[in-house]
A = this chain, B = another copy of it.
Amino acid sequence: MDAKQIMVKMVLDRWYAQIKNTDDALNLLSDEQLQREVAPGKNRGIYLLGHLIAVHDDMLPILNFGDRLFPELQEPFIKQPDKAVPQLTSAATLRTFWEKLNSVLTEKINGMPLEEWFNRHNSVSQDDFEKEPHRNKLNIIITRTSHLSYHLGQLILLK
C-alpha cells in the first residue's frame, strides 16, 4: 500500500466504525426512547438522528456524488433547532432514511478512485483549493466522522 492508500484506509475505517457504532446504538434504542431528550432540556434523540441524516445527505453534493436524497430534512434538522418544528418525520421513517443513505454513501465511497479523494470538494473554490489543498474530499470524511462521534456520544446516553 502506498501512502495515499494507507491514508484513505485510515480515514474510511474510522468513518465506517462510527457508522457501525451508530447503527448499534440505534438498534438498542426504541422509537419511544428516541423521543426523549438526551439530557434535561437538550436535543431529543429523534432530532439528533434527523440531524445526522441531513448532514450526511449533504455530503452527496459536496463530494460530487449527486443530489441529496432527503432535501426536505435540511430545514427541520439543520436550519431549525429541536422543538422548533411541530411535527418531525417519525423515528421509524428516519431509520429507513438512515439505512438507505448509508447504503448509497457506502456504494459511492467505495467506488471513488483513490486520487479523487485528494481533489477539491464542491464547497471550496478552485482558487481557495490551490492555496489550501487539504480542503479535499477526504477531509469531508474526516470532519463528518468527528461530527458523528460528537452526536453519537449524546445519542448513547438514551440507553
> Interface of A with B (CB < 8 Å)?
1, 3-4, 6-7, 9-11, 13-14, 18, 38-40, 42, 118, 133-134, 136, 138-139, 142-143, 145-147, 149-154, 157
By a CB distance below 8 angstroms, the chain B residues around A150 are 149-150, 152-153
Q: How far, in whole Å, are A149 and B157 apart by their CA atoms in the complex?
A: 15
Contacts of A136 in B (CB 8 A): 6, 10
Contacts of A146 in B (CB 8 A): 14, 18, 145-146, 149
Q: State how many copies of this chain the complex holds.
A: 2
Give A144 to B7 CA distance when docked, in angstroms: 16
A157 touches B6 (CB 8 A): no
Report the minimum CB–CB distance from A3 to chain B (whole Å): 5
30 A–B pairs (Cβ distance < 8 Å), ordered by A: A1-B133, A1-B134, A3-B7, A3-B118, A6-B118, A6-B134, A7-B7, A10-B134, A10-B136, A10-B138, A10-B139, A10-B142, A11-B142, A14-B142, A14-B143, A14-B146, A40-B40, A42-B157, A142-B142, A145-B146, A146-B146, A146-B149, A149-B149, A149-B153, A150-B150, A150-B152, A153-B153, A153-B154, A154-B154, A154-B157
